[in-house]
Amino acid sequence: MERGLHRRFDRKLSAFFSHLKTYLSQSQIVTNPVAAIDSSALKRGCAGIIYAESKADIIRIVEAANRFNVSIDPVSTGLNVGYGDFFPETPSQVVIDLRRMNRVLGFNTQEGWMRLEPGVSQGDVAEFLRDNAPEYEFDLTYWLKESSVVGNSLERGRTLLRERENDLIGAELILGSGDTLRTGFHPMSPSPLSHGLNLHPLIFQSNLGVVVEGVIKLHRPDLMARYHLVGFERFSDFPQTIENLKSISGVRPLRWYCSRTFKSTPVPRSIHARFKDLKGGVLVVESKSSNALRDIQVVQAPIRRDALMTTPSLDIVPREPISFFSFAVRPSELQRTQQKIASWRRRFSFQIFQTISFLEQAPIILLRAHADPAQQPSDVRQGFRHLSALIEAEGYVPFRDHSGLPFKNWTDMELKKMIKNAFDPKGIISPGRYGV
């Protein structure tokens, strides 16, 4: 019986690809299954890849997926490592790769917004603004410069200064039903800031459709903001300093860098040069007053904003497993957590790097483990699973993708299913992602 199901699926998939070949070029379709090791050292795969090049392509792909009942999984560039990666939930799904949809569709310098296709990278936006509107800044994530701005926004990525999801103020997507939905900010409307019902928060980390464009809010630099590097001789000084910073008006901690991460994390060169001998690390803070930090008895140095806005790039072997975890930590637990991470680093044969970001002044640990490429994949997988188990044993919940999280509120789950069924009645868009 199982063999018969496979035959029916293969015929269905073959008919799906054959139908699309009448509309798309040969270079846009990969009909062979693809498999690789993802960033959590798990073997993942897909039934094929389609490189969409336009909104019209997306409409045809979604229509064909409905007609032949084939599940599709859209990715912007496939480089949002640690948030699900390139591969879908199950290997029977076809990946829709949107990286060729990489145009800037509109730019308004007076109102401060850009319309982007999903394949536009954060490096592209930084370069565009540098050439066309240097009065605006573009806050970058400290990750690959080729990663998608729209994709990172949809997956709730974090930059140095803010949450990227707050910058996505509008979007257009092709729903699983085949309909087109434009929600949020609409540049073509006579009143773009009040365009009817705002549904675009529904699409954050969801699987209701394929986003074909996003509208990104731009920011002018705060000329009053001053940035300082606060260096720590010992990590034991760090938790108390964070508590002290909370009592200083106008001071905002942004991100802390462990001294061990300097050689592999894209920390600005000025940070590395000034603080390379510290055993604790450095904290980037924002303040409105140059005197706000005078009572913090640690090594300090001002830093220019453009040094923080440097386009990032990580020297990563493309198929090297990179496991990524994040978890919130109370300031009082930072010391213990640091000691645990140091212990894990000694126990495993791969390197563990950490940074700490701040959301509402609360520290969020970002933990990234790089495997030695010489290791056997089975050993890497076992090591990452062991690390995950250790994190959970300490009372933290590691993050990889949402489908692994337990759903305890069944009312919420039923509502999510109702919304999913309304937007995607045949369940063709990334079924299984985020538990829906």
- pLDDT for residue 60: 97
Range 251-254 contact pairs with CB under 8 angstroms and sequence separation of 24 or more: 251/285, 251/286, 251/287, 251/292, 251/293, 252/285, 252/286, 252/287, 252/358, 252/361, 253/283, 253/284, 253/285, 253/358, 253/361, 253/363, 254/160, 254/161, 254/283, 254/284, 254/285, 254/286, 254/357, 254/358
77 and 119 in a single domain? The answer is no
**Domain CATH code at residue 185:** 3.30.465.10
pLDDT surpassing 50 at residue 405: no
- pLDDT for residue 68: 95
Q: Does a structural domain hold residue 377?
A: yes
Q: Considering 308, 340, 361, which residue would you say is the last residue of a domain?
A: 308
The token duo for 218 is: 């731009």
What is the number of other CB atoms lying within 10 angstroms of the CB of residue 267?
Answer: 24
Tens of pLDDT, residue by residue over 50-94, are 999 999 999 999 999 999 999 999 999 887 665 557 888 888 999
Ramachandran angles phi, psi of 170, nearest 5°: -170, 160
248 and 303 in a single domain? The answer is yes
pLDDT surpassing 60 at residue 235: yes
- pLDDT for residue 404: 37
Domain with 12 in it: 2-99
Residue positions counted in the chain? 436
Nearest to 187 by CA among 129, 100, 115, 255: 115
pLDDT surpassing 60 at residue 155: yes
188 and 242 in a single domain? The answer is no
How would residue 401 be classed by pLDDT, with cut points 50, 70 and 90? very low
What's the order of all strands across the beta sheet hosting 209-217?
104-108, 113-116, 209-217, 168-175, 180-184
Q: Does a structural domain hold residue 425?
A: no
Q: Does a structural domain hold residue 108?
A: yes
Q: 3-class DSSP state for residue 95?
A: strand
How would residue 273 be classed by pLDDT, with cut points 50, 70 and 90? low
298 and 332 in a single domain? The answer is no
Q: What is the chain's mean pLDDT, rounded?
A: 81
HSE of 119, CA atoms in CB hemisphere, 13 A: 13
How far is the C-alpha of 202 from the C-alpha of 423, rounded, in Å? Answer: 11
Q: Considering 308, 331, 350, which residue would you say is the last residue of a domain?
A: 308
240 and 202 in a single domain? The answer is no
Q: 3-class DSSP state for residue 13?
A: helix
- pLDDT for residue 241: 81
DSSP assignment letter at 429? B
Q: Does a structural domain hold residue 169?
A: yes
- pLDDT for residue 1: 47
Tens of pLDDT, residue by residue over 13-40, are 999 999 999 999 999 999 999 887 776 6
pLDDT surpassing 80 at residue 269: no
Q: Does a structural domain hold residue 419?
A: no
301 and 393 in a single domain? The answer is no
Q: Does a structural domain hold residue 114?
A: yes
Nearest to 284 by CA among 242, 334, 312: 242
How far is the C-alpha of 12 from the C-alpha of 65, rounded, in Å? Answer: 10
302 and 358 in a single domain? The answer is no
How would residue 375 be classed by pLDDT, with cut points 50, 70 and 90? confident
55 and 117 in a single domain? The answer is no
Percent of the chain with pLDDT over 70: 79
Q: How many structural domains are present in the chain?
A: 4
Q: Does a structural domain hold residue 413?
A: no
Region for 48 from its dihedrals, namely left if φ exceeds 0, alpha if ψ lies in -120 to 50, beta otherwise: left
pLDDT surpassing 50 at residue 403: no
Lowest mean pLDDT among 108-122, 149-163, 195-209, 266-280: 266-280
Q: Does a structural domain hold residue 421?
A: no
19 and 78 in a single domain? The answer is yes
pLDDT surpassing 60 at residue 326: yes
211 and 230 in a single domain? The answer is no
- pLDDT for residue 428: 95
The overall longest dimension of the chain from CA atoms, in Å, is 75
User: What integer is the mean pLDDT of 135-161?
Assistant: 84
146 and 130 in a single domain? The answer is yes
- pLDDT for residue 106: 93
Ramachandran angles phi, psi of 78, nearest 5°: 75, 15
Q: 3-class DSSP state for residue 262?
A: coil
Q: Considering 39, 73, 99, which residue would you say is the last residue of a domain?
A: 99
212 and 110 in a single domain? The answer is yes
